[in-house]
Amino acid sequence: MTALLRTEGIRKAYGGVHALDSCTVEVDEGSVAGLIGPNGSGKTTLFNVITGYAKADAGQVYLGDRKITNVAPDRVFASGIGRTFQLTRIFASLTVLENMLVASPNGRAAARRRAMEQLEFVGIAGHHAELAGTLSYGQRKLLELAYVLVADPAIILLDEPAGGVNLSLVNTIADRIRELNATGKTFLIVEHNMEFVMGLCDRVTVLDSGAVVAAGPPAIIRTDRRVLNAYLGEDLPDDDPHPGERREKQP
Amino acid sequence: MSGQRAASGAALIILVVAAAGFPVIFSSPVVTNYAVYALIFVAVVSAWNVFSGFSGYISLGHAVFFGSGAYTVGIAAKDWHITGTGVFALLPLAAVVGALIAVPFGLIALRVRRHTFIVITIAVFFIFQLMAYNLNSFTGGTIGMSAPFLPWSPTTFNDRFYYIAVACAAGAVVMSVLVRRSRFGLQLRAIRDDEDRARGLGVRTMRVKMTAFMLSAAVAGLVGGVWFLYLTQVLPNSGYDPLFDLSLVLMAFLGGLGTISGPVIGALIIEPGQLYLTIKYTNGYLSEILLGALFLLIVLFVPRGLVPTTGEWIRRARTRGRPVVPPASQRAAVPQPGNGAPTTEART
C-alpha cells in the first residue's frame, strides 16, 4: 500500500512546551489508522498541524505526493482532508441540513440530495429541519461526521469519535466507519477507547510526549511494553509474559 | 405550504399598496419627512445587517461609508458642475466609493475578531471624521458641502424623496433576502457560529466576509448620497455621526439581529421616535439618553430582539407551553429501523 497521508519530523512547541517532537506518521490509502497516547501526548496537536489549524515549527505534511505543510484549513479541506473535533463543533444556529450545506461544493439541488443521503447514512435525517443546537451530544457527533462526508474527502480525521457517547452510538459510529472504509475511504482516528481502536484499526501509532513510541498492527501494539509503559504510566515487570492481557483485565 | 405562500403574497401586495399610497393619505410634509428618514434607515440598517447581522462582526464604522457616499455626491457634483436632477446619476458612484473604501478598511479590520474588530471600526470612523474636518479644500471643512439645487416644487419635494427612499429600502431588503437564501449567506451565518470550523469545511472566510463588507458598504454609500440630496447639506459631524452606528446597532438588536424583518421593524420604530424627540424637545440630549436607556432594556429583557422573541411567544401560545418539536435529546440518538440506516452490530 502507498501512504495517502504522511507527516515527516513534525515539530511543534507552545512556548517552552514541546507538543510534537520529530513526529512521523503514515496512513495507508484505504486503511483505518489509529493514533493513541496519554493525555497531552500531542494527538490533537498533530491533527491541528495536518489540517492547518496550527503551524508546524519544522517538518512536512504530505497528502499523496502533494506537500500541504502549513496550508490554511480551507485549502487543506479542498485538497481532500476532512476532520471532526474532540468537542463537537457544529453551527448551532443553523438547521441540521444547513450545517451539511456549508461544506457542500455542489449546486443547490445536488447538494441537498447528497446532504440528505449522508444524514440518512448516519441516521439523523429525521432531524434535518431542526436547529443543530437542539441536537444531543451523540447526534452532534453524527452530524459532524456527516457534514465532513458531504465533500467526499480522500481521508477523514476523527478526533475521539466515541468520546462521551453511549455504547449503542459507539457501535453505530464504528459501523459507519467500517462501511465507509469498505468503499475505500481512509481514516485516521484519535481515540481513548481501546476496544474501539483495536477493533477498528488496521494500524495503530502511539504517541508519548509528542514523539512516536510505537507503530504497527493492533495485536502487536496492545502487548508492546513501551506502549503500556507510556500509555498506562507504569513500569511493568520484565518477566510478565502477557503484559497487554494483564492490563486489559484492569477495570 | 401553498396557503402560507398565498398569505405571504397577500401581505406583500398590501405592503406595496400601503407604501405607494402613504404620501397620498398622509400628505403633510412633516409626516413624509418622518417617513423618508425612517426608510433611509431601513435601507442602511438592512445593508448593515447583511454584514454584521449575518456574520456576527458588529461594525461601528458604517458611518464611514454613509458619510463618504454623501461627500462623494457633493464633491463630484461640485467638481463636475452637475446640477438639477442629474445629480442622481452620481448615486452609483457613491456606492462604488463606499465599496472601494471597504477594501482597505476590511483588509485591516477583518483580520481580527469581536471587540478588537469593533475598536478598529471605531478608529477608522474617527480617522474619516477628522479627514472631513481637516481636508478643507476637498470637503469644505467645518462648513461642509451643500447639495445642488433640485428643481422640484416644495410641495412635492418630500413625496419624491419618499418614493426614492422606498426604492432604496425595498432594494436593500430584497438584497438581504437574496443573500440570506444564498450559499454565500449560509457561509456568512456559519462564520457567525464558528469561523474556524467554517474555514475547516472549505469556506474561504476572508473572501466571504470581505464580499459582505463591500456589499454592505456600497448600499450604505448609495443611501448616504440620497440622504445628502434630501438634507441638501453634509457636515463632518452629520455625515460621520458617532451616533449613526449606535442607532443602527440598536435598531438591529431591537428588531432581531441577523433576521430580515427585525432591523426593518427596529428602524421603523427608532428613527421616527428619535426624530420626534429631537424636534419636540429642543434639548438634543433627551433622545440620546432615551436611546441609551432603550438599549439597556433591550439587552436585559429582549436580548434576541422583538421578531425572534415574538415568534417564540406565538409558538408557545399555540402549543400551550409544549415545544412544537420535542427536544432532540428526548428522542433516539441512534438510527431507527425503517429509516434507511443500517442496523448491523459493531465489531467492537
The whole-angstrom separation of Cα B220 and Cα B229 is 14
The whole-angstrom separation of Cα B88 and Cα B69 is 12
In sequence order, the 6+-apart residues with CB closer than 8 A to the CB of B304 are B256, B257, B312
What pLDDT sits at residue B323?
A: 54
What type of residue sits at position B111? R
Chain B residues with beta carbon closer than 8 angstroms to that of A74: 199-205
* Mutate which: B334, B343, B344, B345, vs A, most A CBs within 10 A: B334
Q: Is B320 part of a structural domain of the chain? A: no
Q: Is B69 part of a structural domain of the chain? A: yes
Contacts with A, B 279-338, CB within 8 Å: 325, 327-329, 333-336
The whole-angstrom separation of Cα B278 and Cα A78 is 54
Give the residue-averaged pLDDT of A122-139: 91
The whole-angstrom separation of Cα B59 and Cα B51 is 8
Position A242 pLDDT exceeds 50: no
What pLDDT sits at residue B225?
A: 96
Q: DSSP letters of B197-237?
A: HHHHTT--HHHHHHHHHHHHHHHHHHHHHHHHHHHSEE-HH
By the 8 A CB rule, do B77 and B234 touch? no
Number of domains in chain B: 1
C-alpha cell at B69: 457616499
Helix (H, G, I), strand (E, B) or coil at A41: coil
The DSSP symbol for A23 reads E
What pLDDT sits at residue A245?
A: 43
Q: What is the pTM of this model?
A: 0.86
Tell me the CB-side half-sphere exposure of residue A212, using CA atoms within 13 A.
19
Of B192, B197, B333, the CB nearest to A89: B197
Task: Determine whether the interchain pair A120/B205 forms a contact, defined as Cβ–Cβ distance below 8 Å.
Answer: no
Closest CA to A156 of A225, A93, A80: A80
Name the residue range of residue B231's domain.
Answer: 22-242
| Residuewise pLDDT in 10s, chain B (348 residues) | 567 788 888 988 999 999 899 988 988 889 999 999 999 999 999 999 999 999 999 999 999 999 999 999 999 999 999 888 999 999 999 999 999 999 999 999 999 988 899 999 999 999 999 999 999 988 988 999 998 888 888 888 999 999 999 999 999 999 999 999 999 999 999 999 999 999 999 999 999 999 999 999 999 999 999 999 999 999 999 999 988 999 999 999 999 999 999 999 999 999 998 888 888 876 667 778 888 888 888 888 888 888 888 888 888 887 765 555 555 455 444 433 333 333 333 332
Q: Is B268 part of a structural domain of the chain? A: no
Closest CA to B69 of B216, B225, B213: B225
Closest CA to B307 of B271, B266, B268, B248: B266
What pLDDT sits at residue A235?
A: 55
Question: Where along chain A do its domains lie?
Answer: 3-248
Closest CA to B265 of B251, B249, B275, B277: B251
Per the model's pLDDT, the better-predicted residue between B322 and A64 turns out to be: A64
Q: Is B70 part of a structural domain of the chain? A: yes
Chain B residues with beta carbon closer than 8 angstroms to that of A105: 202
Burial of residue B28 (number of CB atoms within 10 Å: 0-12, 13-18, 19+): exposed
What pLDDT sits at residue B293?
A: 87
The whole-angstrom separation of Cα A80 and Cα A70 is 15
Strands A32-36 and A203-208: parallel
What pLDDT sits at residue A234?
A: 57
Phi, psi of A212 (to 5 degrees): -80, 125
Mean pLDDT computed over every residue of chain A: 86
The whole-angstrom separation of Cα A78 and Cα B261 is 35
Chain B residues with beta carbon closer than 8 angstroms to that of A178: 346-347
Predicted confidence band at A192 (pLDDT cuts at 50, 70, 90)?
Answer: confident
Q: Is B347 part of a structural domain of the chain? A: no
Q: Is B43 part of a structural domain of the chain? A: yes
Where are the alpha helices (H) located in chain B, listed in sequence order?
2-25, 29-48, 54-55, 63-79, 91-109, 114-134, 136-139, 154-181, 183-200, 205-231, 236-239, 242-255, 261-280, 285-301, 306-319
Highest mean pLDDT among A108-112, A191-195, B228-232: B228-232
In CATH terms, is domain A3-248 a member of 3.40.190.10?
Answer: no
Of B186, B333, B340, the CB nearest to A138: B333
* Mutate which: B54, B201, B325, vs A, most A CBs within 10 A: B201
Task: Determine whether the interchain pair A139/B333 forms a contact, defined as Cβ–Cβ distance below 8 Å.
Answer: yes
Q: Is B331 part of a structural domain of the chain? A: no
The pLDDT tens digits for A29-47 are 999 999 998 888 899 999 9
The whole-angstrom separation of Cα A151 and Cα A133 is 22
The whole-angstrom separation of Cα B39 and Cα B48 is 14
Straight-line distance from the first to the last Cα atom of chain A, in angstroms, rounded to the nearest whole number: 37
Segment A70-79 long-range contacts (CB within 8 Å, at least 24 positions apart): A72/B199, A73/B196, A73/B199, A73/B200, A74/B199, A74/B200, A74/B201, A74/B202, A74/B203, A74/B204, A74/B205, A76/A50, A76/A51, A76/A52, A76/B200, A77/A51, A77/A103, A77/A151, A77/A153, A77/B200, A77/B201, A77/B202, A78/B202
Q: Is B146 part of a structural domain of the chain? A: yes
Task: Determine whether the interchain pair A172/B194 forms a contact, defined as Cβ–Cβ distance below 8 Å.
Answer: no
